[in-house]
Amino acid sequence: MFTVTCSRCKYVFYKGEKIPNLYKIYVRFGGRCPVCGREIGWVPQSIDVKAKR
Ligand SMILES: [Zn+2]
């Protein structure tokens, strides 16, 4: 299970079995978090990707 969450408010952008496509996430949300307005950067540190089993 992969999750991509906002590093500020923990809003879950993506949750699923497949490796998240950060570009699609970026486009879907218009480049920023819908809750706190934080910009979704292309820098990996701003997006928390975790693999859980
Ligand atoms: Zn946020």
Q: Where are the beta strands (DSSP E) in the chain?
A: 2-6, 12-16, 47-51
CA–CA gap between residue 27 and residue 50 (Å, rounded): 21
Expressed in angstroms and rounded, the spacing between residue 18 Cα and the centre of ligand 1 is: 22
Please choose, from the candidates 49, 51, 29, the residue with its C-alpha nearest in 3D space to the C-alpha of residue 40: 29
Q: What is the pTM for the complete model shown?
A: 0.69
CA–CA gap between residue 28 and residue 52 (Å, rounded): 24
* pLDDT value at residue 44: 46
pLDDT single digits (tens) 18-51: 888 888 888 899 989 999 998 876 544 445 666 6
- How many other C-beta atoms can be found within 10 angstroms of the C-beta atom of residue 9? 12
Expressed in angstroms and rounded, the spacing between residue 17 Cα and the centre of ligand 1 is: 22
* pLDDT value at residue 48: 60
| Chain length of the chain | 53
Expressed in angstroms and rounded, the spacing between residue 43 Cα and the centre of ligand 1 is: 15
Instruction: Compute the average pLDDT of residues 11-15.
Output: 89
Expressed in angstroms and rounded, the spacing between residue 10 Cα and the centre of ligand 1 is: 6
